[in-house]
Structure 1
Amino acid sequence: MVVLREGMCPGLDEDLVRDLRAADIKTVEDVVSSDIEELAQRCSVSYKALFAIRRVLLAQHTAFPVSGADLYEELLSSTAILSTGNPSLDKLLDSGLYTGEITELSGGPGSGKSQVCFGVAVHISYHLKQSVIFIDTTGGLTASRLLQMLQAETSNTEEQMEALQRIHIFRLFNIFSLLDCLYSLRSGGLQQVSVGGGSVKAVIVDSVSAVISPLLGGKQNEGMSLMIQVAGVLKTMAKDFNVAALVTNHVTRSGSGELQPGLGVSWSHIPRTRILLERVERATPVSHSSMRSATLIKSSRQPCHIKEEFDLQWGSRSKEASSGKRKLDETDSG
């Protein structure tokens, strides 16, 4: 508790401190929690002056006690951890995708980036009963693909349709359309999408590099500026609406020949967590063609360079669904 004393802020002079104490207002917490209008009358001071004093005191001393229940409510409303549905990825991500943050999957063609994104969208819409915004910049996503994956989760047609309705797909093939879409979602579109089926908990952009990297060659400055705009609107949307942003990126090779995410150093500061996906090459049968490795290359929660292997068909519930998804994987370019 902070005891009131003169000079703590403009307007809080010796006379006012004395009057406040006479009214049994002895601490900063007393001022903040009291009825200002009533207190102004009791101390014969203007409401406006007392209101200004309270505002300054609030700014200076914000650490007032709150109950554990209030803190838990705040945590629930501000941060959620969304399982990807893939135990290996969840392990790397320290339980899943965090709302308020950008998570990046990078990898070369056929590494499974898109397939993982489809799986995440299906898991959030079907298992978590929440809505997902899926921005497809490569033309790789089709409703039939999503339906096939949902059929692996449930044979109930009604449940499949309900889950499909919670996945809102935007097909955008240049950076200006992407920016228009993101700004529109941030300025109210997210709430509109939420009407009728779970609040939006994830925004997936597959792929962010497909629309940004073509601009980073020639008109370097313009491309860089547009990239930073995309990053900025994604970050503020994630924070303001408590959604998890998941983006995919291509890869390049470093001077030493190692794979690294594309889009350069400026972009590398944008995602809070980055995962590199690669095919697992095995000399054994084709049954392993869907095996992938995931390496954590940036994280504020886990040691980097830990690696997990997983099967791209992790969500399959039946042999038919599994074979259907295998066909998808074999044609998957990202």
Structure 2
Amino acid sequence: MPPLKNLEVEFPIIDANFQLFCASNGIFSVEDFLVHDIYALTVLADREANSEVLKQGIAQVHSIVDKLHQPWFNGLELLEDVNQNKYFLSTGCEGIDKLLGGGLRQGQLTEIVGPSSSGKTQVCLCTALHVADKNLGAVMYLDTCNSFSPKRIADMISQYSNDFIKEGKERRLNRIMRSIICRSVFDIFELLGVLNELASASEHKVKNLGTRLCLLIIDSISFLVTPILGGKDSQGRMLMSSCGTLLKKLANEHNISVLVTNHMVRGEGGILKPALGESWKSIPHVQLQLSCDRVRNICQATVLKHTFMASGVPAEFAIHE
């Protein structure tokens, strides 16, 4: 989401005076509105000589935030949306693709949850490789915990290279890596900024690449969100909700697949549960839980949530190190 000063050209009401008023209350961006008591801000505006103009500015920023939320659709519109320009992107993991009916559905947010070393990052890297290999468009990999490994992708390409002898391993590696854009993101505000940048990109062209983005991966989204969820106030949950809403908006309006990972923590009785909790559970369209058998070198994916599939359905897939 942009700083307030970047909105002045499109929204003149958000002028230097309004920005100065906001800055005096610690508000410099749209994100800051999400964690501020807007009622208290309106009361402060009432004390100013230009109170009506300031309140109009507050309403304008509210309308910008509202645009991030999904509109209402009737049943026919939803059916048309399902049938129009939506198809699956292969993850490269045969068991997961079969379980999901073809892979990651474009226009949807898919989440992978699992404990450490359960294969979450490996699935992300494998998916990035296979989507880039098909020349379907660009893959953006937002790395929040230094998980992106070009060497692991190169090793996986070597394992799959037998079917592509004519192209050659080196040429294929270069082609695939050019289609994967990796960016390190280390806090929730930086993530919201990147997502807003993608949402406003003309025809969703990736800068300096000139091709359409078809897959967005965030590994791991929980690394950014869990630090802001502490305490009794709702500010962290508001930011989490805004992030999830924007991801779904990106997926739906630009017809891309979004894949995020979420680690697990111990709850009551030592039982493992997804780190982002129940408030986040309603956001992903599809939620898979991974577990790993390192002795057999096999992972298992189990459906926790799906738009048209019962929960609890499992599938096994091999790990490619």
Residue 236 (structure 2) aligns with = 223
Q: Equivalent residues in 2 for 1:31-42 (5 A)?
A: none
What are the Cα deviations for residues 47-96 of structure 1, in whole angstroms up to 9, with x where unaligned? xxxxxxxxxxxxxxxx8xxxxxxx89x9453x121111111001221221
Choose which of 227, 232, 235 in structure 1 pairs with 2:245: 232
**SS of 1:176 mapped into structure 2:** helix
1:280 deviates by 2.1
Query: Could you tell which deviates more after superposition, 231-240 or 254-263?
Result: 254-263
Cα distance, 1:215–1:189 mapped onto 2, change above 3 Å? farther
* 1:252–1:260 Cα contact (<8 Å) kept: yes
Deviation at 1:142, TM superposition (A): 2.6
- Partner residue, 1:177: 190
Once the 2 structures are TM-superposed, how far is the Cα of residue 197 of structure 1 from its aligned partner?
A: 6.3
Partner of 2:276: 263
What displacement does 1:159 show? 1.9
AA partner of residue 241 (structure 2): I
Q: Does 1:153 align with 2:160?
A: yes
Q: Do the aligned partners of 2:204 and 2:254 also contact (CA within 8 Å) in 1?
A: no
Q: Return the match for 2:258 from 234, 245, 256.
A: 245
User: CA 1:264–1:109 in 2, change beyond 3 Å: closer, same or farther?
Assistant: same
The alpha-carbon distance between structure 1 residues 195 and 242, as it changes in their structure 2 partners (threshold 3 A), is: farther
Q: CA distance change for structure 1 residues 185 and 130 in 2, over 3 Å: closer, same or farther? A: same
Summarize the Cα distance change of 1:190–1:117 in structure 2 as closer, same or farther, 3 Å threshold. Answer: farther
Q: How does 1:21-100 map to 2 (within 5 A)?
A: 75=83, 77=85, 79-100=86-107
Q: Summarize deviations over 1:227-256 as a string: whole Å, max 9, x none.
A: 111101101100110001100001134546
Q: 1:112 aligns with which of 112, 119, 144?
A: 119
Please state how far the C-alpha of 1:258 moved relative to its aligned partner: 4.2
Instruction: State how far apart, in whole Å, the 1-side matches of 2:96 and 2:283 are.
Output: 20
Task: Look up the match of 2:177.
Answer: 164
C-alpha distance in structure 2 between counterparts of 1:211 and 1:220, whole Å: 18
- Helix, strand or coil for the counterpart of 1:193? coil
AA at the equivalent of 1:152: Q
**Contact 2:92–2:127 (Cα < 8 Å) also in 1:** yes
Q: Deviations over 1:243-277 (max 9, x none)?
A: 01100001134546543322111100000111000
CA distances 1:11-46 after superposition (whole Å, capped 9, x unpaired): xxxxxxxxxxxxxxxxxxxxxxxxxxxxxxxxxxxx
Is the contact between residue 134 and residue 169 of structure 1 (CA under 8 Å) also seen in structure 2? yes
- Of 136, 140, 144 in structure 1, the residue corresponding to residue 147 of structure 2 is 140
AA of the residue aligned to 2:183: F
Q: Based on CA coordinates, which of the two structures has the bigger radius of gyration?
A: 1
2:240, 2:202 → 1: CA distance?
Answer: 22
Helix, strand or coil at the partner of 1:177:
helix
Question: Cα distance, 1:156 vs. partner?
Answer: 2.8
**TM-score under structure 1 length normalisation:** 0.66
- Report the counterpart of residue 302 of structure 1 in structure 2: 309
Alpha-carbon distance in 2 for matches of 1:176, 1:219: 20
How much has 1:145 moved relative to structure 2? 2.5
Does residue 205 in structure 1 map to residue 215 in structure 2?
Answer: no
Per the alignment, in what secondary structure is the counterpart of residue 246 of structure 2? Answer: helix
Q: Which amino acid aligns with 1:202?
A: L
Inter-partner Cα distance in structure 1 for 2:301 and 2:159: 23
- Residues 122 and 220 (structure 1 numbering): CA distance in 2 closer, same or farther, change over 3 Å? farther
Q: Which runs of 4+ in 1 moved over 3 A?
A: 194-198, 253-259
Using a 3 Å threshold, how does the CA distance of structure 1 residues 156 and 279 change in structure 2: closer, same or farther? closer
| Match in the other structure for 1:13 | none
Q: Distance in 2 between matches of 1:247 and 1:185?
A: 16
Q: Secondary structure at the match of 2:312?
A: coil
Query: Paired residue for 2:68?
Result: none
- Asked whether the equivalents of residues 250 and 261 of structure 1 are also in contact (C-alpha less than 8 Å), the reply is yes
Alignment-derived partner of residue 298 in structure 2 = 291
- Aligned residue type for 1:91: K
Secondary structure of the residue aligned to 2:147 is coil
Q: How far, CA to CA, are the matches of 1:201 and 1:191 in structure 2?
A: 9
Count of residue pairs brought into register by the alignment = 238
Query: Of residues 311, 323, 332 in structure 1, which corresponds to 2:318?
Result: 311
* TM-score, normalisation: structure 2: 0.68
